[in-house]
Amino acid sequence: MQTSDLSLRNLATARSLLLAPYGLDEAHLLRTMGDVFTHRVDYADIYFQYTRSEAWSLEEGIVKSGSFSIDQGVGIRAIAQERTAFAYSDDISIKALADAAASTRAIASAGSGQIKLAKKLTMATGHALYTPQDPLNMLDATEKVALLERIERLARAKDPRVVEVMAALAGEYDVVLVARSDGVIAADVRPLVRLSLTVIAQQGNRREVGSSGGGGRSNYDYFTDEILQKYVEEAVSSALVNLDARPAPAGAMTVVLGPGWPGVLLHEAIGHGLEGDFNRKGSSAFSGCMGQRVAAQGVTVVDDGTLTGRRGSLNIDDEGNPTSCTTLIEDGVLKGYLQDTLNARLMKMPITGNARRESYATLPMPRMTNTYMLNGQRDPKEIIASVKIGLYAVNFGGGQVDITNGKFVFSASQAYLIENGKVTHPVKGATLIGSGPQSLKHISMIGNDLALDSGVGVCGKEGQSVPVGVGQPTLRIDNMTVGGTV
């Protein structure tokens, strides 16, 4: 489908769900923003959202819970210089819009009064990265239960040591409509599905956990038999490997990160520090470093919201701007930040289409979409062979990062010892400790096996959670501190 055709279709869907049932049209939106602009403001937008979501979970061979929810509402934002006024309501009505517009008086005196409201709204064209389907209606309840039961049977049949299986299925149908004071109106219809699998394997008195899963902006038919087999293989293999894991060593050593999901370390330790709001306020470890070398030669990091069907991708961001592929670091040099409208204007930098919000009840802010490091030239086997003693981390659990200095702590859920250039026995309890900016400079080898994660990422910032993607090739990082158990 052509992007313009999809944009028209999405706008028609949004009008039918968010405007027409409540007696609203574009004229009402312009009048509402006109009420806002009777005060001295520089910018205003109206954000409508309609979301239907469901979640199913299986444990002990039984689907024990299922939930379904519908949420809708509208938020109005006004900006005057650096100040923002915001009001929202779960009641979509002419009165609710008028009340929300009136609340913007709190910042009226801060605006320049020189910016004029557009006289009409013109549709913005976004990308065509996914089809506007409703995954919740594609399978009935019996079929969704059967999907979870099938993956449970596959996991139990994989190995007799699998003693417990937990699986969860989630789907979402999200429709958004954005109208802006500069005359832009845009809409998006966003499907999202996810399947997660956790297994517990037991050998003697020892029990270990393995997990897997994935999804994307698609329908439930994304989960083919081949995909289900892959999730089962990954989860069961991880649990069985951990049954044989020895205590991880501690100290400064060479760490090799596997491709794909280990890019979550890149996301947390580096990506957040490149978001525009932190840099405008000077609170990021990367503040004031534009054009400077911040990473080893060969390191190129991008944030790309334009990947087809990916969990972190969007046709438009939550301000109605098309998403883009933004180069953050190029050959080790800092080239860009992730920007929304407010921070781009104040920093006099281009908008990158990275404004994201959890819902109509929250403010947009610059956020990542799909953040990953580009390929290098090295064969992954060559990277492993180059390490005398080190750690090979292929999967991660939780982690924490301090944006102000880039310091992070990450737990490796699946890792191995490298001895004399060979991957030997698995280890458990390994924790990576370091600084994002310093780790970038200690990257000494970059693989040619770039992979993206399977579609499970969730990013939190200031209490808001949004779906994201991560990725990277195999990386060698020298002199990283590993917290272990021996």
pLDDT in tens, the chain (486 residues): 678 899 999 999 999 999 999 999 999 999 999 999 888 888 999 999 999 999 999 998 999 899 999 999 999 999 988 889 999 999 999 999 999 988 877 776 665 566 788 999 999 999 999 999 999 999 999 999 999 999 999 999 999 999 999 999 999 999 999 999 999 999 999 999 999 999 999 999 999 999 999 999 999 999 999 999 999 999 999 999 999 999 999 999 999 999 999 998 888 888 999 999 999 999 998 999 999 999 999 999 999 999 999 999 999 999 999 999 999 999 999 999 999 999 999 999 999 999 999 999 999 999 999 999 999 999 999 999 999 999 999 998 877 788 778 888 889 999 999 999 999 999 999 999 998 889 999 999 999 999 999 999 999 999 999 999 999 999 999 999 998 775
**What pLDDT shows up at residue 316?**
98
CA angle 222–225–226, rounded 5-degree value: 85
Nearest Cα to Cα of residue 454 among 134, 194, 148: 194
Query: Beta partners for 366?
Result: 355
Spatial separation of the C-alpha atoms in residues 303 and 180, rounded to whole Å: 25
Question: What does residue 215 show for φ and ψ, rounded to 5 degrees?
Answer: 160, -160
**What pLDDT shows up at residue 109?**
64
Q: Can you point out the beta strands (E) in 239-319?
A: 246-247, 251-257, 301-304
**What pLDDT shows up at residue 86?**
94
CB 73 within 8 A of CB 90: yes
Spatial separation of the C-alpha atoms in residues 273 and 262, rounded to whole Å: 18
**What pLDDT shows up at residue 106?**
72
**What pLDDT shows up at residue 108?**
63
pLDDT tens for 193-230 read 999 999 999 999 999 999 999 999 999 999 999 999 99
**What pLDDT shows up at residue 484?**
74
**What pLDDT shows up at residue 414?**
94
**What pLDDT shows up at residue 400?**
78
Spatial separation of the C-alpha atoms in residues 277 and 365, rounded to whole Å: 8
Contacts of 75 (CB under 8 A, 6+ apart): 46, 47, 86, 87, 88, 89, 100, 360, 361, 362, 363
Largest CA distance in the chain: 75
**What pLDDT shows up at residue 215?**
98
Tokens of 353: 């289409």
> What SS3 class is residue 85?
strand
**What pLDDT shows up at residue 4?**
81
pLDDT tens for 334-343 read 999 999 999 9
**What pLDDT shows up at residue 111?**
55
